[in-house]
Amino acid sequence: MEIKRIGGRGTLFTFYDLGLATNVYAIHGKQNIYIIDTYLGPDIMKQVNKYIEEVFGNKPVIVINSHSHWDHVWGNSQYSSTFIIAHEKCREYMLQDGLEKLEKYAKHQKGEVVLTYPNLTFTDRIFFEEDNILVYHTPGHTDDSISVLDMQDKVLFAGDNLERPIPFLMSRDLNRYINTLQDYLDTDASIILGGHTGCEGKSLALHNLDYVKRVFAGEIIEIESEEFAEYHKTNMDWLKG
C-alpha cells in the first residue's frame, strides 16, 4: 500500500495486487471522512481505516462508490452500518451481476467479501455543504460512473473515466462520455485523480477526450504504444458488440 497526501485534506491509497495501480481516496472533512471506493475486500479497508483513525481520529465515515465494477466495491462490507453512496444504476448493476463477478474473480478478494450494496443512491448529484464536497453523475467509462469534487482543495476524483494511456469504453454512449470529459476541462480543479492513475492535470483529460472524440467520429486512430493498441482493440471489440 502506497500512501500519498493530496492537497490539504486528501489521502490517496494505491494498491498493486491486480498488476496495475488501483486507488482508494479519502477526504478528511469537518464532519465526516469520505472514502471513495473500497477495492478488493475488508482486509484492505481495515488497513485504510487504521491509518485514517491514527492520523485523523475517529469520525463518521461516508463511503462513495465511483461505479459498480468489482475492483472498486468489494470492501463495502467493512462499512455495512454506514452510508454507502452511489448512482442508482451502480446499485442496479451490482444486483444484476455482482455475485457472478464475485465468483469469477474470487481469487482476488482480500478477506471474506460479502456483497454490500449502496444504501443511498441518487440520479444527478449530492452536495455536502458542510464539507464543500460535490458528488455527481458523470457517465463515461460506464453509465453509472460518478465523480467527486473537493471544492475546497480543488481536487477531482474521476474514477475510471480517466485512464492511461486511453480509457476503457464500457458504455456505448460516447456522446455522454465526451460531455463528461469536456466538463472536467471546465471544472475548477487543479488535481485530477483516476481510479487507476496518479495525480494528473487536465492534460490527461484532454488526451482522453481527443481519443473518445476520434472513436466517436470513426476516425483512424494513431497507435502510440503496445499498451495503447491492446486497450484500443478491446474498446473496438466492445463497441462492435
pLDDT tens profile 20-32 = 999 999 999 998 9
Secondary structure percentages of the chain, helix, strand, coil, to 5: 35, 25, 40
Q: What is the pLDDT of residue 241?
A: 80
Q: Into how many domains does the chain fold?
A: 1
- HSE-up of residue 28 (Cα within 13 Å, Cβ side): 18
- Percent of the chain scored above 70 by pLDDT? 100
Strand order from edge to edge, sheet including 33-36: 2-6, 10-15, 22-28, 33-36, 61-64, 83-87, 120-122
Reduced to 3 states (helix: H, G, I; strand: E, B; else coil), residue 205 is helix
Contact present, 236 and 194 (Cβ < 8 Å): no
How does pLDDT run across 66-122, given as a tens digit for each residue? Answer: 999 999 999 999 998 899 999 999 999 999 999 999 999 999 999 999 999 999 999
Residue 179 pLDDT more than 90?
yes
CATH of the domain at 125: 3.60.15.10
Instruction: Answer yes or no: is pLDDT of 238 > 90.
Output: no
Strands 33-36 and 61-64: parallel
Q: What is the pLDDT of residue 81?
A: 85
As given in the structure block, the three cell numbers for residue 70 are 468489482
pTM (2 d.p.) = 0.96
Q: In the numeric block, which cell numbers belong to residue 141?
A: 467509462
Instruction: Calculate the average pLDDT of the chain.
Output: 96
Residue range 35-51: mean pLDDT, rounded: 97
Domain that holds residue 67: 2-240
| Phi, psi torsion values for 174, nearest 5 degrees | -70, -25
**The predicted structure's pLDDT at residue 80:** 87
